[in-house]
Amino acid sequence: MVEINSTRLLEDLAALRRIGGHGTGVVREAFTATDLEARRWLARRFAEAGLRPVWDPVGNLFGLPPTGRPAVLIGSHSDTQPEGGWLDGIYGVICGLEIARAAEEAGLKGIAVVSFADEEGTFEPLLGSRVWSGELPFSAVQDRTDRNGRRLRDVLTGMPELRAAEHVPPQLFKAYIEAHIEQGPILDDAGEAIGVVETIVGMQHVEVTIMGDQNHAGTTPMDRRHDAVMGFVAFAHAVDEAFRSEAAPSTVWTFGRVTVSPNATSIVPGRTDAMLQIRDPDQARLNHLAARAKMIAENISVRGPVEIRTQVIAKLPPAPLDAALVSTLASAAERLASGRWRRMASGALHDAVPVSRILPSAMLFVPSIAGKSHCLEEDTRLDDLVQGCTVLGAAVEPLLLRSP
């Protein structure tokens, strides 16, 4: 039986919390000194666990077991947001490491571990997993720069580990499982310990442009104004009202970027640019809501003093996870956390999205206290961290005993 060593699990998480520690959280942006320090620490721990550390050309770090049979790959990422929490990503990697050790101690082999590079998007969202899965050509991202002007090609060239980088073929693995904090309030609000993820939401970005008429703020009468900001306010309110009546409980939408031109106190704004992001686990509903936003823009433009144009500029389809693996996780959750688990969708994107296109994949969530994440206050109760790893270990055991 795969028995998790809770002390070892929590000590490893605490050690990584100190690398890039910032108050209660962690600052470990991809390919910075702290990120590389953390992943070099991981490489040493992989080796101590009997796994061969392998870096691939884009900087993904794998721990490969000494077996000729296809392995179960467990992992996530170890980089953080510019101001991030101590568990986002790294919890899944350390769960994989601990399960690999516990399986070896039980006489079972076949657990591989991965820390995917730059999940958080310092250079490109889900960079390492998208390149590894073949979704994103490596050549297309090498000249990407981060917010400090660093070029990815230069960063990778400066890593001595990558001089001996190896391509790690997906054929080495029969499944991928990612443990993660929920990053939302559902499990914590319900007092539940485990979320078995059935699907990861899709996403569409709707670019919105509101054209008004720039003019003097002191001399232009109110009934003569073509104010691009007021046009945006009317559009955003109408979208919110329509979506609340037509969306599902799992749907979320956000105007996360709004730019006003010329953005001056004494000028009636002549233009407002915004981005509407829609997330939903159902593709048909995503398409409907994006079309609904376009219809709202056209109707406001007809009767209002501004012109509103919309365009869908990015589409990411939902990622349903492997039904058999989901059932395996659900069985383990029912056995070890009866009455304290649920099936659910993930509202956040994860490395499991691109990996699910090439390997049977699944995800397991543990609660986030108050639903906080992507912030220094992010936290999870230690008992829940141990419970999540225990359930994952129990689910993986029959996969190791099963023939490839």
- Cα–Cα distances in angstroms (integers) from residue 388 to residues 86, 90, 200, 234, 367, in the given order: 16, 14, 19, 45, 9
How far apart are the C-alpha atoms of 54 and 46, rounded to whole Å? 10
Per-residue pLDDT, 404 = 59
Question: Phi/psi at 114 (nearest 5 deg)?
Answer: -140, 140
Phi, psi dihedrals of residue 367, rounded to the nearest 5°: -70, 150
Strands (E), 146-251: 173-181, 194-200, 202-211, 215-216
Determine contact, residues 85/375, Cβ cutoff 8 Å. Answer: yes
Question: Cis peptide leading into 185, omega within 30 of 0?
Answer: no
**Residue 14, pLDDT score:** 98
Contacts of 356 (CB under 8 A, 6+ apart): 176, 200, 319, 320, 321, 322
Beta carbons of 54 and 166 less than 8 angstroms apart: yes
Q: What residues have CB less than 8 Å from 243, skipping those under 6 apart?
A: 251, 253, 289, 292
Torsion, Cα of 15, 20, 25, 31 (10° steps): -110
Burial of 404 (0-12, 13-18, 19+ CB in 10 A): exposed
Q: Quick one: pLDDT at residue 3? A: 96
What are the structural domains, with CATH classification, of the chain? Answer: 6-200+318-401 (3.40.630.10), 202-316 (3.30.70.360)
**Read out DSSP for 267-331?**
EE--EEEEEEEEEES-HHHHHHHHHHHHHHHHHHHHHSSSEEEEEEEEEE--EEPPHHHHHHHHH
pLDDT of residue 403: 59
Q: How far is CA 235 from CA 114, 244, 280, 296, 332, in A?
A: 44, 14, 21, 7, 47
What's the pLDDT at 302?
80
Distance, in Å, from the CA atom of 47 to the CA atom of 322, rounded to the nearest integer, reads 30
Cβ 84 vs Cβ 26: under 8 Å? yes
pTM: 0.93
Q: Which two tokens stand for residue 34?
A: 């702290």
Contact 311/207 with Cβ under 8 angstroms? yes
SS3 119: coil
As given in the structure block, the two tokens for residue 339 are 């009455």
**Along the 404 residues of the chain, how does pLDDT read in single tens digits?**
899 999 999 999 999 999 999 999 999 999 999 999 999 999 999 999 999 999 999 999 999 999 889 999 999 999 999 999 999 999 999 999 999 999 999 999 999 999 999 999 999 999 999 999 999 999 999 999 999 999 999 999 999 999 999 999 999 999 999 999 999 999 999 999 999 999 999 999 999 999 999 999 999 999 999 999 999 999 999 999 999 999 999 999 999 999 999 999 999 999 999 999 999 999 999 999 999 999 999 999 888 899 999 999 999 999 999 999 999 999 999 999 999 999 999 999 999 999 999 999 999 999 999 999 999 999 999 999 999 999 999 999 999 987 55
Determine the Cα angle at 365 with ends 323 and 109, to 5°: 70
How far, in whole angstroms, is CA 180 from its chain's centroid?
Answer: 9
Q: How many residues does the chain have?
A: 404
Token digits for 202?
Answer: 């899709």
